[in-house]
Structure 1
Amino acid sequence: MDRLDHVDAAIQFLDALGIERAAFVGNSMGGQTSLRLATEHPGRISHLVTMGPPVGRMPSLFGAGDGPSEGLKVLIEAYRDASRENMRRLVEIMCYDKARFATPELCDARSQAALARPEHLANHVAGLPQGAPLPRWVDPALLPGITVPTLLIHGRDDRVVSFESSLFLLANIPDSRLVLLNRCGHWAMIEHAEEFNRLVIDFVRGNPSDD
């Protein structure tokens, strides 16, 4: 079976709801999907907000250049074995403040949810040689063509996707701005929820998109 194209799924979802344009907010893989949507279907997006998106074929200045990051290696292992211990390691590497956010309850919940869908785990692992979980990456050459207002939010302590990916996006998307949060890992929207919500609301309200 063909792997799901996330952008096509997003367009189908908008069509089903009768929504012509929407603001897209995406963390990690969701940010990469939102970047693709902005380059492939610019008429369907009004604002773009990303948190820690990976950027394929990007020159690495600060992050390790020898393959997947520390966090991605832990994530892959958690998909291969979604035990509570592996999920604990994954949750801990996702956030900066482990004592506050990597609770036993959250680790248990994530492990149980993953183990409830063994076919999803198997599909992910089987697709790793082909670049899972992303069927396609955004073409960096298309980034300067993104014209919608863009807000980039990234944790300085992100161990999954280095903040240099957002620096790269900032340098290539014309109408973009970057908020780099200290004491923040890969989950900016969770670790700094109040500030994150305020930033996104003020950004959308204060930067009207051209119709």
Structure 2
Amino acid sequence: MASTRDRLLSEGMRLFGEQGYAATSVAQIEAAAGLSAGSGSLYKHFRSKEELLTAGLERLLSGGEYATPALAAPEGSGVAEKLSAVARAGLRRLDEDRDLSRLLFRGLESFPALLQRFGDEEISRVHRATTAMLTELAGERADDVDWAAVALVLQGATAHYWLLSDLFGEHPTGIDEGRFVDALVAMATALIAGTATARDESPSGP
């Protein structure tokens, strides 16, 4: 059974994501965690609502299965399999930090230090790892393409797909996750195939 602190943390982050930080009261968090609303029980575990938010960010940055894109695919996977695994792992990571992902657009700008930290330790970290993976897959002719920009396009497309799917319940275009990932992989694989050397592995379907 989750501890009182963990319940407060989970429910607080959920409410921040759903309602926004400013619109969420301490009493609401206490009630959602199964405590008496307005009792001040939250302050036995967190000095303030902001400290709870900081703890939620710490939990995200210190945990999660999706450490880096390079670890998303089994060893020996082909190019397309690696790209597919990375795309799906990125979507699962967004699922994992759904509350904070929502909060990015609902009040986290009020905390510039936290926002900067999320940018540095999550978004930029994943971007650097994705860039490194694409560069390695491109082989000896990696300099022919701006892989950092390509990584940004892939990362942005994945985040945008997830955000709209989360907002509407499913993507408003009707394109499901499988079709989205297949299209993303096909485009990236074609680009890599165009820059790969003859000795490099030929891309295969996911």
* TM-score normalised to structure 2 length: 0.26
Q: Which has the larger radius of gyration?
A: 2
Per residue, is there more strand in 1 or in 2? 1
